[in-house]
Amino acid sequence: MDLPSNILQQAVDQLATLPGVGKRSALRYALHLLRLDEAKYADFLSALSTLKTDVHLCRRCHCVSDTELCPICSSPKRQHGIICVVENIQDVLAIENTQQYRGVYHVLGGVISPIDGIGIRDINIGTLLSRIQYPEVEPIQEVILALPTTMEGDTTAFYINKQLQPFGVKVSAIARGISVGDSLEYADELTLARSIMHRVPFESN
Amino acid sequence: MDLPSNILQQAVDQLATLPGVGKRSALRYALHLLRLDEAKYADFLSALSTLKTDVHLCRRCHCVSDTELCPICSSPKRQHGIICVVENIQDVLAIENTQQYRGVYHVLGGVISPIDGIGIRDINIGTLLSRIQYPEVEPIQEVILALPTTMEGDTTAFYINKQLQPFGVKVSAIARGISVGDSLEYADELTLARSIMHRVPFESN
């Protein structure tokens, strides 16, 4: 596709760098932006430019935040004795959406993946350990590992579990099993097996 | 979804105004932008900000352009006696991609649609007529209507055809028929009927 405007072409090329956006969608976005009135376009641009300058990562849990400490870490209503360890910020939002978890989080920012060149030092494991080392700041009793069930996720969980052993904190992992509403017939064998292995008392189900 | 950062939330809200982008995709885009390094982010923002200030619409055909007259209108290699009338800029790009058309274009910027409040004066019909009124600038011999086959597209084509009658230019419409490679069996009746009605000599097929 050869656009009759180089400037439009550059904007399309940039928009096409967004994850999952192809040239055709990028063109649609660019033409939509072109049609916006000045005020709306200014709003759009300013929201994107403050994004980079004003959004911080929480210095404790590494989730996005407008302040040094994110609303979750600074809330007195949360249980600061339980940390849920997740791969990324989307995972925090997914768990928050359930409205069932009242503890705090720790965002690793990735999982150990030697193929992608991501080692132990490239993700936030060190800061997780130091959170547990200083119980006067946060009296951590339990660490919940909510990492993906991929080789990389399992490796990361295994490593973190090993590192946590000396501190005597309880380490748990989120339950895997058949999704609520799914029929057993179509579940994959691994999931079904785990579902049976980790069965729970009927009353608490 | 309640983000722990208002600034991120604003960026997500703005990105979700792009056509076909939901909150979830917008969040993915925003987090991707957050992860970009400074230089790449600056490129992204500058491409979007110059978009609005530097892209013009060609004063003759209303297609996007970096200059007052677009590369197609100003090209001596194009046939300036044939105008293809299309609804929007994407249509120009689609026809250009075929590399079969050597004439020029006229972008209406919409079709007549009383339900959406789009009347004759809201689209570029007036400028089309004035292009034909001044043969010393462009010696127009033929106008090809390449408008959508919707009620609105047909109404617009009908109106333009009527307006063009006094000028004695040839008015044609792009052929409708079975797509190349499609089987007759699955074609809709209207298309198949048009395909037979507007059959062409075998040699020119």
- DSSP assignment of B103-171: EEEEE-SS--BGGGTB-GGGTTHHHHHHHHH-TTT----EEEEE--SSHHHHHHHHHHHHHHGGGT-EE
User: What are the distances in angstroms from CA A70 to CA A56, A75, A115, B103, B116?
Assistant: 9, 8, 32, 59, 45
Question: Which B positions 141-200 lie with beta carbon below 8 A of chain A?
Answer: none
List, for residues B56-110, the tens digit of each pLDDT value. 889 999 999 989 999 999 999 999 999 999 999 989 988 998 888 999 999 999 9
* A48 vs B33, B88, B90: nearest CB: B33
Identify all chain A residues contacting B64, using CB atoms and an 8 Å cutoff. 3-5, 8, 34
Where residue B163 falls among pLDDT bands split at 50, 70, 90? Answer: very high
Instruction: Please name the amino acid found at residue B55.
Output: V
User: For the segment B11-48, what is each residue's pLDDT rounded down to a tens digit?
Assistant: 999 999 999 999 989 999 999 998 888 899 999 999 99
Chains A and B form CB pairs within 8 A to the count of 145
Would you place residue A205 in the very low, low, confident or very high pLDDT band (cuts 50, 70, 90)?
A: low
Chain B, nearest residue to A38 by Cα: B52
Beta carbons within 8 Å of A183's beta carbon, 6+ residues apart? none
Q: Could you say which of 3.40.50.2000, 3.40.1360.10, 3.20.20.140, 3.90.76.10 is the CATH number of the domain covering B64-173?
A: 3.40.1360.10
Q: Which CATH number does A6-54 carry?
A: 1.10.8.420
**DSSP state for residue A183 in the 8-state scheme:** -
B1 pLDDT above the threshold of 60? no
For the stretch B180-193, pLDDT in tens is 888 888 888 888 88
> According to the model, what pLDDT value does residue A3 have?
82
Q: What is the mean pLDDT of residues B124-132?
A: 93
Does the structure show a pLDDT above 70 at B171?
A: yes
- Token output for A74: 């600074």
Q: How confident is the model at residue B204 (pLDDT cuts 50, 70, 90)?
A: low
Is pTM, for the whole model, over 0.80? no
A20 compared with A134, residue with greater pLDDT = A20
Domains B6-54 and B64-173 share a fold: no
Q: Which of B6, B27, B54 comes nearest A90 by C-beta?
A: B27
Neighbours of B143 (CB within 10 A): 23
Q: What is the mean pLDDT of residues A178-197?
A: 84
Which among B128, B119, B117 has a CA at the least distance from the CA of B62? Answer: B128
pLDDT band at B201 (very low <50, low <70, confident <90, very high): confident
B70 with B64: CB under 8 angstroms? yes
More confident of the two residues B151 and A180: B151
Q: Do A18 and B32 touch (CB under 8 A)?
A: yes
- At residue A1, the pLDDT reads 55
Identify which of A24, A131, A133 has the alpha carbon closest to the alpha carbon of residue A84: A131
% of chain B surpassing 90 pLDDT:
62
Using the beta-carbon criterion (under 8 Å), do A5 and B41 form an inter-chain contact? no
For residue A159, pLDDT over 90 is answered with: yes
Confidence category of residue B205, pLDDT binned at 50, 70, 90? low
From chain B, pick out residues whose CB is under 8 angstroms from the CB of A96: 2
Contact B19 A29 (CB under 8 A): yes
Contact A64, A42 (CB under 8 A): no
pLDDT at position B39: 92
**Which residue in the block uniquely carries the two structure tokens 């973190």?**
A160
Domain range annotation of chain B? 6-54, 64-173
pLDDT value at B5 more than 70 = yes
Widest distance between CA atoms in chain A? 67
Average the pLDDT over A151-178 and give the result. 91
What pLDDT digit, counting tens, does each position of A66-114 carry? 899 999 999 999 999 999 999 999 899 889 988 889 999 999 999 999 9
Q: Residue A107: beta bridge partners? A: A86
Report the percent of chain A where pLDDT is more than 90: 61
Those of residues 35-54 in A touching chain B at CB distance below 8 A are 36, 38, 41, 43-45, 47-52, 54
Q: Do B5 and A31 touch (CB under 8 A)?
A: no
In this complex, do A34 and B20 lie within 8 Å of one another by their Cβ atoms?
A: no
